[in-house]
Amino acid sequence: MNCTWGYTWHGRYLYHSWFFWLLVIVTLVTALVCLWSYLHRKQQPSCPCCHSQVDEVYMRCPECGEGLKSHCPGCHHIVNNSWQCCPNCKKTLQPEMEKEPPTAGTLPA
C-alpha cells in the first residue's frame, strides 16, 4: 500500500526519517530511566540484625529495635553505628578493643 508521498509504510519513510530516530531515542531514554529507578529501589538498606528492609532515615529498626544510627559524641551529627570515625569532626566512634587482663596463671612483668 502506497501513501500519497510515494513511500510504503515498511519502506524508506519509516526507517530513514527523523520521526523513527526520535522514537528510538525516546524508547531508549525511557528504558534507561526505568532501569535506573529499579536498581535504585533494589539498594534499599536492610537491618544488620534481622535483615528487614529499612529506610535510610531510620534511627532504629522498626522490626527488632536494633540501633542503626546514633549521635557523634564530638559534634552531635547523626552517624551510622557501623562507622569507625565521624566524617565531620574525625572523632573515633568505636571504642578500641580493650586489652585482655592477664590470666590467673601468669604474673605481670
pTM above 0.85, yes or no: no
In a domain, 104, yes or no: no
In a domain, 86, yes or no: yes
- What pLDDT does residue 98 have? 42
Please report the DSSP string for the chain in residue order. Answer: -B-TTS-BTTSHHHHHSHHHHHHHHHHHHHHHHHHHHHHHHHT--B-TTT--B--TT-SB-TTT--B-EEE-TTT--EEETT-SB-TTT--B-SPPPPPPPPPTTS---
pLDDT in tens, the chain (109 residues): 555 555 555 555 555 677 878 889 999 999 999 999 888 776 778 888 888 888 888 888 888 888 888 888 888 888 888 888 888 888 888 764 444 555 655 555 5
Structural domain boundaries enclosing 85: 45-95
In a domain, 103, yes or no: no
Same domain, 37 and 49: no
Same domain, 25 and 51: no
- What pLDDT does residue 30 have? 96
